[in-house]
Amino acid sequence: MADHLDRILEEKYTTPLRTGYKWFDDIFMLNPFENHVERIKNFQVRDDDIWLSSFPKAGTTWTQEMAWLIVNDLDYKGAEAVLPTRFPFLELGCVADFRHYKRQHPEFECPESSLDPIGYINKLKCRRLIKTHLPWKYLPLQIQNQSTKA
């Protein structure tokens, strides 16, 4: 069964941005996830952060747009900025390796929010809206132990 799964992942899901999958306890992720687990676990959550945690393909993008507009008083002009800069995807660096791709293709234009989403989110000054598809046990410890109002 594992060989069959490996073959399917290699043939159907391996791209220049997505290579190498493995099990991390009970979830199947790309290899770069291993480099981000501790950063995510120890991520400093702010009380005014808004977290959108959902399953993939469950209307997350639509919900992000609604939440961003509500928080920003229906600023439609501001909403023209690409979504990952307004509402960063916490583990994007774990599911697509933009840094590796950029090293191979220096001409590739990529926003910082995609190259290092965790670092990007940490630098945000205003109220942060953060998207994740991670299971509860992989969210920052401050969320798990409810030591934040986020």
Spot the catalytic one: 36, 100, 105, 133.
Answer: 133
- Annotated active-site residue 133? The verdict is yes
3-state secondary structure the chain: CHHHHHHHHHHHHCCCCCCCEEEECCEEEEHHHHHCHHHHHCCCCCCCCEEEECCCCCCHHHHHHHHHHHHCCCCCCHHHCCHHHHCCECCHHHHCCHHHHHHHCCCCCCCHHHHCHHHHHHHCCCCCEEEECCCHHHCCHHHHCCCCCC
Active site members? 133
